Amino acid sequence: MIYKRIIVKGIVQGVGFRAFIYRNALKLPTLKGYVKNLPDGSVEIICRGEKKEVDELITAAKRGPLGSRVDSVEITEIEVEKDIEGFSVAH
């Protein structure tokens, strides 16, 4: 399992971006984590899963839903102390 923090910048708030990521994450059986809006207008995704599934979510984040515009995607490997259960939209 790998852990990633993904920061997506561009027009990614108010366009259904979190719901888009949530729907894509639910299709990936090992993926756990959350997606949330950040105060600076970007979206943060924290995820844990098999490399292939994490990569699929990153590909979806780079694409985004209709109406969004992804300007940049920053990906960092992280260590998470507590186990993450399921995938959710954080507020």
Q: What residues are labeled active site?
A: 18, 37
3-state secondary structure labels for all residues of 40-58: CCCEEEEEEECHHHHHHHH
Summarize the chain as % helix, strand, coil (round to 5): 25, 40, 35
| Alpha-helix residue ranges (DSSP H) falling in 1-91 | 17-26, 51-63
Q: Rounded to an integer, what distance in angstroms lies between the CA atom of residue 52 and that of residue 31?
A: 10
